[in-house]
Amino acid sequence: MMTSCLHTQDEITYDVSESASVGFVLGQLVATDQDSGPDAELEFLLVADSNNKGFTLGRTSGQLVVAQELDRESVESIVLTALVKNPGPVRGIVNCIIQILIYNC
């Protein structure tokens, strides 16, 4: 029986201007799995209420993307919880803290 080990960051912080366009890529979550072949294919998912906070996460790419207009006056920061998993039982959690910056022009 093979033992799998998944490595992720526990927490990552992004700064984004409230003027960022829908589709703007904040960054990419990175994880590694010691398995090889299909067992090493990772999937990235936003969990719980993280799906309703104006961002999307690429299921296979791990890219965190702005999905709706941001308004710093409504919310200064957002915390998203992402699940990283392989086809087996291995799971990892990454907390993404997004600081929305004021854009005055």
Q: Which domains, from first to last, does the chain contain?
A: 6-101 (2.60.40.60)
Q: pLDDT grade, residue 6 (50/70/90)? A: low
Question: In sequence order, which residues have a C-beta less than 8 Å from that of residue 49 and are 6 or more positions away?
Answer: none
Average pLDDT, the chain: 87
The mean pLDDT of 14-36, rounded to a whole number, is 91
**DSSP line for 27-58:** EE--EEES--GGGG--EEEE-GGGGGSSEEE-
Residue 2: its H or E element? none
Q: What is the pTM of this model?
A: 0.85
Tokens matching residue 15: 């700064």
The whole-number average pLDDT for the span 63-74 is 94
